[in-house]
Structure 1
């Protein structure tokens, strides 16, 4: 059985959430910070678990664009410049289903690293 594609994807800018609506009426909202720290990109996940890079300071990250990729995924363009991960329908479903466990694991890893969700300073963007 294949994972269904969302029938609607909406960015709730003020809340910094990605709202996914499915044809069966279910709606799920995923925080952009969660999507960013669990990006499926090699830059974040590495090519195996030992190469994963803990994402820190992403609490206030937002989205600049959502780009469809065929009929199987979306590419999210984050306002911190990250845009190299493809979020397949299967991967988004996994993030929905395991949100509590994944988030608890992320917070645990931050604590172990002595790191924070808060940005370290003021980011200056090049024009």
Structure 2
């Protein structure tokens, strides 16, 4: 028990050092608004509301459903993706489980801050990349049995 306590304390000190190095404010609150978004608030008063689509597209995990086009990795068809749950991972972030069954990305509080701080630029670049490759934010239409 004492060993676990020392490990937790060491992790907290490491997290504090990381926060001071990257100038990310300390997390104040995290709330899941399933299935549409998450809200993240930091101690300095900065708040971000991040949509499920945005978080899915910018998942920090490698994903087999990513389409590689040249050197670009592109995820399309996620406009209506939903968040099923958010599971805490230590003191540094959460694992988000999406309804397309993607669940390998661990979002750190620093990564949420980065995404929120750059949300409009990232989303604009994402839409430009989709257009450049003739892809859409909307899911592809599935063929019905009468089309087969």
Shorter-chain TM-score: which interval? 0.7 to 0.9
Counterpart of 2:38 in structure 1 is: 18
Runs of 4+ in 1 over 4 A off after TM superposition: none
TM superposition score normalised by structure 1: 0.81
Gaps of 5+ in 1: 123-127
Deviations 1:62-89 (A, max 9, x none): 1111011111111100011001111111
Q: Which of residues 102, 112, 133 in structure 2 aligns to 1:92?
A: 112
TM-aligned CA deviation for residue 107 of structure 1 = 0.4
User: Does 1:116 pair with 2:117?
Assistant: no
Alignment partners' CA distance in 1, 2:97 and 2:25: 22
Q: Which of residues 45, 55, 69 in structure 2 aligns to 1:35?
A: 55
Alignment partners' CA distance in 2, 1:56 and 1:5: 33
Counterpart of 2:122 in structure 1 is: 102
Instruction: State the aligned residue count.
Output: 117
Counterpart of 2:30 in structure 1 is: 9
Please identify which structure carries the higher helix content.
2
Counterpart of 1:125 in structure 2 is: none
Q: RMSD value over aligned CA atoms?
A: 2.1
TM-aligned CA deviation for residue 20 of structure 1 = 1.0
